[in-house]
Structure 1
Amino acid sequence: MSELLFTPKSIGPVTVPNRTVFLAHETGFAEDGLPTERDAAYYEARARGGVGLIVGPSSMLVHPSSSNPMYATGYDPEVIPRLEMIADACHEHGTKVFAQLQHTGGEDSGEYAMRETWAPSAVPTQYGYEMPKRMEIEDIEEIKLGFAKTAEHVKRGGLDGVELKAGHDGILRQFISPKYNRREDKYGGSVENRVRLVNEVVEAIRDRVGDEFPIGVRLTLDEMEDGGYDYEYAVEVMRHLNPDIDFVDSDIATISKLYITDAPMHAPLGYTQEYYGGAREILDVPIIASGRINDLTKGNDILEEGRADFVGMCRQLICDADTVRKVRRGADDEVTHCIACNQNCLGGIHTNGHVGCIQTPRSGRETNIPHIEDVDEAPSERRILVVGGGPAGLSFAVTAADLGHRVTLREKEDTLGGQSNIATEIDSRREFGDAVRNLLNQLENRDVTVERGVEVSPSDVDDERWDDVVVATGAREQSPQFEGRNVHRSWDVLRGETVGESVIVFDTNKHAAGVGLAEQLAVDGHDVTLVTTSYHPGDRLEGTNVPPFLETLYEHDAELIEHTTIIGFQDGEAQLLNVYSEEMTTMTADSLVVAARREARTGLADALRERVDDPDSVHRIGDCVAPRLIDKAIFDGEMLARRVGE
């Protein structure tokens, strides 16, 4: 790799030490509208990890008409000491920090503040459901003042610059958009007028903070909505931007198409490069690339080819805060690469209340879980047997080895990975296997004895001396409640069991298993009907993951039947029952495949605890405790490794 990635570059008057950027995103750590110590620790972890520029806090609100409990209220002077805390933490490592300024406009809800939302016109967004208030001129003046005051607070808080959000959500993009801006005054009717608010906000901020403080824009380069603007329109927008703007951070789509903005693994790596590459040809200011960049080798290629000036990463640095530092020292194989599962980053905001990563327990928990480099080795080396080479067992083995224990891992299959190997039989989920590959790469760099194709019995453990036995034997898919040679379990089908031309997939799993199998069968040419009791297929999946599955199913003419259970299948005929109307119907098919829930494999752990002298030396982790998603397995493994021997 060339050194371009690690060369400094200026954004306005500020010199960024290298070309990597941690992009803005919600953390969920704000309390009472203010950033917290958790924010400071979270950003500091990425600064320690070597990133050149952090854009955060994200979406700092500039006016009371924009309210969201996840965001900091930037217009409140009390934010200043909290920003100082973040600035000091990041500057200690040489990293620059820009805050992102935001007014959510009509893409917000008035429920938190119990007031109306504001927008350029009374046009509801596809994301929201409230009809916003059309802003009057005095409202616009208030918002401009709010942006300026917030920028002043950011500067007083010691941060290095600001980014204005005219991206996938926010009032600035809504003013730019002819779909949402139908005004006929000086703020509407032409591209120049629709860009006016952005440019006047830049002027208002410049008057407050002076010339030595960078101001940039995160700009949506294609709304990708029916009636929304396209890239050609965005080109005209860029040509009308205020020349005082110091950089442009690329974005695409709107919040109603978050599965495009923050695309899951259905989308290829670097899928937005044509957009930021085009912007680089038009604008004479630094351009920040974004869009599923999880490999700094590819990031360096972007710079070498002149498509952008900075490599922006969000989910990759959520996943591995040390990415830049590892690559810089030549430890590329130690990088944990983001797999775009969206489970604990975007999904975590809504389920856990804060950002996180399925592969990295520490991510989002920096104040509670110390960096492994800061943890002392165990006071005494323990000899540990790990039974099971799925994500839980691998996670334990890597961390336990880091802490100085002697670890032997045994897996009954010839291949490590556990249930992840089944998930990756779905073409669109193959990248899920990188979670295991990341662990395997790290395992190869540790002194761990790995024995494949070895099934462990209780008597085997009796014959050897172990300080601890960690059982990570996973789970099995439950058997279908129907019998017959044309009834199959989803795992068996993914492993190669043959099904007929017409297939009913009955999804009682409700996560990726059922909808993913249905997608794969449809792509392979089967006539597929997906039946679920839910409101839509895959309703327990993260929101950004559902639309790509549905798009593929509809593209291949699959039939989707919601609100329905199957109560019988015999002689190629399924009996269907609507769970609300209780109406009975029948459907014929060659095969019925049931994507069911899972049940824990507890037998080995139970037997060992009855045989060993110290039952507390036998530990269960992952799905053999209770079947859950992969993040819990990896979390279980790492946390036990940190505790064992205490």
Structure 2
Amino acid sequence: MFNNLFSKGKIGSMEMQNRIVMTPMGIHLGNPDGSMSDETVAFYAARAKGGVGVIFTEVTMIEESRGRGNCRQMSAAHDKHIPGLKKLADEIHKYDSKIVVQIYHPGRQGISAINGNLPMLAPSAIECQCVHQPTVAMTTEEVEEMVENFIAAAVRVKKAGIDGVEVHGAHGYLVNQFLSPHTNHRTDKYGGSFENRIRFLEEIVIGIRERCGKDFPLIVRLSVDEFYEKIGFPEEGLHLEDGVEISKRLEELGVDAIDVSSGTYETMNTAWEPTSFDQGWKINLPETIKRSVNIPVIGVAVIREPEYADSIIAEGKVDFVGSARQHFGDPEWSNKAKEGRADECRKCISCLHCMETLMFADMTNSPCQCAINIQSGRELDYSNFREDGDGRTVAIIGAGPAGLEAARVLAMRKFKPVVFEKSDKIGGQLEFANKPPKKEKITWLIDYLRVQAEKLGVEIRLNTAPTIDDLKELNPYAVFVAQGSNPIMPKSISGIDGKEVLSTVDILSGKVKLEGKKVGVVGSGMTGLETSELLAEMGNEVTVFEMADNIGPGLFFQNLIDIMGRVSQYGVKLYPKHKLIKIENGKATFELMESNEIKDYSFDNIIISLGTRSNTELLDQINTNFHIVKILGDASKPGKIRNAMETGFANAYNL
């Protein structure tokens, strides 16, 4: 099965057991001084044990004065880091996997506050329009010193017994900044012509080859297209034809493989894609590079399914299949595919919780998190599944993500979970979340939880809302309450119970279908915006109202940019600073928050999207009648998928 994916591969002198690559992603698990932490080793070891052919580490510092991306990342900037890197290599090699360290400098995309409050170094003094940090152009001497920093870091990596090194020339970081005419306006030998713009990378490659030898695998990651047309600047930056030219030159210089990616911070969603981006959406990029060079090409393109991964190798589009988030979500993805258990893969749903937590990690001092795999980044905390359940029954009320994740972990621990679900299907809120356009990946999580329940023999009683007597009949060791939440329909708003007023659940469940109507949506959280998109797609004229100063308050900016780009295509009207006061016969009355003016709008239907409230049905009686009661997910506090999965996992793990 998947013979192409599991054929042996080779990059330079490095031979791999398969064609699967975990590409780099920040994890924020390192020690503050850049030394190797036990948590980092455990994280990568889990992926090696899971069958990944070659693992590329997170971005690794080559100099620490102005080269930090965050406060807890790996470093190869000093000889003192060699023993830690060796510890990592030795651990990975236990599982017949290979390890490559990615070296980089953030350049203008770094954050001054964690780099000595100094301006960020860049080819030219052009501030990044994403991070907006003070930026200074490097002198020629500073560029030459930086070349040496890259080379010296590669030498340390080799001394540590690491299998290869990757120079990060993608995603708008320093090397990419030199390559791109958008960010390189220099007039010395490192700027202007193609030959000058590639000189920085060329000198790094030549230096690594001279100091590390031809037999030490050297890979370069490239944004072969910066996609500036996606943000309205079609003439700016690098385009695919430039990526081809750079790749050809790197092949001439003796680089062993090209790791193809795209985008910069300013075109972020083309590098770290939200859920709307389809699997394989940019596979044409590595395919084009592969047709242009004779060295191996690694490709990424929201690759999630083993079937698809195998097919793009068979079709000659890539030599190696790369993904970071997929292996973050399921370190066992490779083994599952190899063993014919592809249906058990926990496929990444591209929700970007990992990116959101990584971007705020320096403030929260917490590692990068995965919404659907609670063990990711906490391998040392959650590695011991004690099989001490002894067949004891645990009643679980609700078959949403919290309840099903709890059931999975309890079954692994040899408890006997019995899940009650009042509806005719599992999934809970996920069965609403997967209905808007471009949200199909949510169904992957439902499918994963379903398969796990089936494989582990979890009993699920559909169409059953248990009574206290039903629960007592089980004589449960514990009761887990995961009965979700209900839409908030504030009774303080006059007319909220009118026949023309609906909740988002009414729309997303399919209970009510609206076509060709004039619809007002009150509330611009993600549910409100996604429901608006669905309504617009169904041919309705949609207007969204929000009491806050801006549409989408509190939403992660990548997801907000993504959904706003789509609703704008439908002509959805957006009105922030509007507070709903009352509804009467299809007329919605709002107070304008800036002027206190009262304004009326008329609609055929008004959809309320003002959040949800925990379902507390039977909760007091459950607490009275049972000794061990755990409240999970939205039933405890309405939140995101991570909250549901984490409360389900942790309570089951620690019971």
Whole-Å Cα distance in 2 between the matches of residues 431 and 266 of structure 1? 9
Partner in structure 2 of residue 369 of structure 1: 382
Deviates more, 1:398-407 or 1:491-500: 491-500
Question: Is 1:411 the counterpart of 2:424 in the alignment?
Answer: no
The alignment-based identity, stated in percent, is 27
Q: Corresponding residue for 1:609?
A: 623
What is the DSSP-based 3-state SS (H/G/I as helix, E as strand, rest coil) of the residue aligned with 2:186? coil
- SS of 2:608's equivalent in the other structure is strand
Deviations 1:315-342 (A, max 9, x none): 1100000111111122222211111111
Runs of 4+ residues deviating >6 angstroms: none
- Matched with 1:303 is 313
Which residue does 1:621 correspond to in 2?
A: 632
Task: Report what 2:368 is aligned to.
Answer: 355
- Contact 2:28-2:358 within 8 A present in 1 as well: no
CA displacement 1:479-538 (0-9 Å, x = unmatched):
143422222211112223255722221116x2x211111111122222212122345433
Report whether the alignment pairs 1:76 with 2:78: yes
Aligned to 2:121: 118
Deviations 1:524-570 (A, max 9, x none): 22221212234543333333212221111111111122233222333
Matches within 5 A, 1:186-335: 186-225=189-228, 226=233, 227-241=236-250, 242-335=252-345
Post-superposition offset of 1:379 = 5.6
Measured in 1, the distance between the counterparts of 2:14 and 2:478 equals 53
SS in 2 for 1:237: helix
Amino acid at match of 2:141: E
Q: Distance in 1 between matches of 2:82 and 2:246?
A: 33
Q: Are the aligned partners of 1:19 and 1:311 in contact in 2 as well (CA < 8 Å)?
A: yes
What amino acid maps onto 2:216 in structure 1?
Answer: F
Unmatched runs of 5 consecutive residues or more in structure 1: none
CA 1:76–1:566 in structure 2 vs 1: closer, same or farther (change >3 Å)? farther
Which of 489, 502, 517 is residue 501 of structure 1 equivalent to?
Answer: 517
Q: What is the CA-CA distance between 1:580 and the residue it aligns to?
A: 4.5
Partner residue of 2:172 out of 162, 169, 174:
169
Task: Return the offset for 1:583.
Answer: 4.6
Q: Is the 8 A contact 2:61 2:67 kept in 1?
A: no
2:387 aligned partner, one-letter code: E
What is the 5 A alignment of 1:559-638?
559-610=573-624, 612=625, 615-638=626-649
Following the alignment from structure 2 to structure 1, what is the Cα–Cα distance between the partners of residues 594 and 42? 48
Which secondary structure does the structure 2 equivalent of 1:129 belong to? coil
CA contact (8 A) 1:622 1:634 kept: yes
Deviation at 1:199, TM superposition (A): 0.7
CA deviation after TM superposition for structure 1 residue 464, in Å: 4.1
Task: Give the partner amino acid of 2:637.
Answer: A
Query: 1:291, 1:350 → 2: CA distance?
Result: 25
CA distance in 1 between counterparts of 2:389 and 2:468 reads 29
Structure 2 residue 456 is matched with structure 1 residue 446? yes
Q: TM-score if structure 2 supplies the norm length?
A: 0.93
Counterpart-to-counterpart distance in 2, 1:90 and 1:417: 36
1:391 paired residue number: 401
Distance in 1 separating the partners of 2:202 and 2:226: 20
For the 8 Å contact 1:27–1:349, the answer to whether it is kept is no
Matched pairs, number:
636
Decide whether aligned partners of structure 1 residues 85 and 482 sit closer, same or farther in structure 2, where only a CA change above 3 A counts.
farther
1:80 and 1:154 in contact (8 A); partners too: yes
Give RMSD over aligned pairs.
Answer: 2.0
Q: What is the one-letter code of the residue matched to 2:112?
A: G
Secondary structure of the corresponding residue to residue 244 of structure 2: helix
Please point out which of 159, 166, 178 is paired with 2:162: 159
Asked if the contact 2:393/2:474 (under 8 Å) is kept, the reply is no
> Which residue does 1:10 correspond to in 2?
10
1:99 is matched with: 101
Deviation at 1:438, TM superposition (A): 0.6
Residue in 2 aligned with 1:149? 152
Determine if contact 1:471/1:620 at 8 Å carries over to the other structure.
yes
TM-score, reference length from structure 1:
0.94
* One-letter amino acid matched to 1:150: A
8 A Cα contact 2:306 2:342, kept in partner:
no
In structure 1, what is the Cα distance between the partners aligned to 2:139 and 2:459? 70
Distance 1:349 1:28, change over 3 A: farther
Counterpart of 2:26 in structure 1 is 26
Residue by residue, what CA displacement relative to the aligned partner does 1:597-640 show, whole Å, maximum 9, x if unpaired?
21111222321222x3xx32333222112212122212222222
